[in-house]
Amino acid sequence: MFGQNQNGGFRIRPTLIIAVVMAGFALCKYYGQSSTNDITGETQHISMSPEQEIAMGLQSAPEMAQEMGGLSRNPQATAIVKQVGQKVVQNSAASRTPYKYDFHLLADPQTVNAFALPGGQIFITEGLLFRLTEDGKTLNEDMLAGVLGHEIGHVAARHSAEKLAQMELAQGITGAVTMATYDPSNPNSGYIAQSVANMIQLKYGRGQELQSDNLGVRFMMESGYDPKNLIGVMEILKQASGPSRTPEFQSSHPDPENRKEAIEAAIEEWRGKLGK
């Protein structure tokens, strides 16, 4: 990073100066925007407004549904998903958020998944819904409430907007590191910087998943569902992932076994806070 000039002194490489400016800009932009989340109580560095989150989710919803076989053509199952989702929202702290929650059942019978878009568009696949049973036949609504409560947690905690801001910060820092450390004789130097940024993002993802589990427990209890059933969902996810699950440190989702422990702790936490 430093070089020796003809007079025997040292000079700072121009690329290092540029790197410092790039890093400073990225940090100022990220930390210069902050707000307190009313649901989690956390200070978040987010530039996107709730209205922008809602618009983004509504715009993305049709494409996301199409990628997973479109919406379900099972009206009864679709109605249950919407009914349970709205019950969780209307009877929990999620009702105090500015988001427009809507719940969708996707026709994909193979994929075991549920996810949320910014602003309240929430999806669950038939592949997951029809596994939420105790006897292989009857739907366990408490399990469904746990899945939807977890996804509502992502929305209420503004995880998508938070993730976008973190990605912008990581990209800015990565660019600065690449500029400062680039070595023409070592073309892998830029790849290393990007790999570090990717691992940082995976860590954020795991933390957000655990926070959504915690909020899911809270929303379940507030709306009259048994939060212990969320532990049963973890068993279903574990079975669906099979023996070849990606190691946790390389995955955006914590291992289901670790999530079960965190859920049990969350149940005790919210029992104390809610008096239930």
Task: Tell me the pLDDT tens digit for each residue of 70-94.
Answer: 999 999 999 999 999 999 999 999 9
Mean predicted confidence (pLDDT) in 204-214? 88
Q: What is the pLDDT of residues 110-140, one digit of tens each?
A: 999 999 999 999 999 999 999 999 777 899 9
According to the model, what pLDDT value does residue 174 have? 64
Residue 190 has pLDDT above 80, yes or no: no
Q: pTM for this structure?
A: 0.79
According to the model, what pLDDT value does residue 146 have? 98
**What's the DSSP call for residue 186?**
B
> What mean pLDDT value characterizes the chain?
82
156 touches 95 (CB < 8 A): no
Mean predicted confidence (pLDDT) in 171-185? 59
For residue 196 the two structure tokens come to 């570090």
Mean predicted confidence (pLDDT) in 55-69? 91
166 touches 220 (CB < 8 A): no
